[in-house]
Amino acid sequence: MKKAVLNESRCDKSPFCGAKHACPVGAIKFVRQGIFSGKIEIDKEKCIGCSKCVKYCPHNAIIMK
Ligand code: SF4
């Protein structure tokens, strides 16, 4: 099964990530790394391969692989 993979160079690392909110199983999370910064992580174990996040990312930063 293909799973969601993040291209970090395209990701804008927003805490308001639309793809995070679209994921039905909570596999995408914003990890805070400072007061104003953080990054998006995708939990491969949780991902069920639905590809919803691909459609909701405005930066095309997620692909199914
Ligand atoms: S493919 Fe589906 S389950 Fe996997 S991270 Fe994206 S929205 Fe979540």
pLDDT tens digits for range 7-64: 999 999 999 999 999 999 999 999 999 888 999 999 999 999 999 999 999 999 999 9
Find the residues whose C-beta lies inside 6 A of ligand 1.
4, 22-23, 25, 27-28, 42, 47-53
The CATH number linked to 42 is 3.30.70.20
pLDDT of 10 reads 98
Q: Letter for the amino acid at 57?
A: C
Q: Which domain holds residue 31?
A: 4-64
pLDDT of 36 reads 84
pLDDT of 31 reads 97
Question: What is the CA(23)–ligand 1 centre distance, in A?
Answer: 5
Rounded alpha-carbon distances, angstroms, from residue 12 to 28, 46, 63, 65: 14, 22, 15, 21
| Element of type H or E holding 32 | strand 28-32
Q: Report which protein residue has its CA nearest ligand 1's atom 3.
A: 47
Query: What is the count of structural domains for the chain?
Result: 1
Read off the pTM.
0.92
Q: Coil, helix or strand for 42?
A: strand
Q: Letter for the amino acid at 3?
A: K
Question: What is the CA(18)–ligand 1 centre distance, in A?
Answer: 12
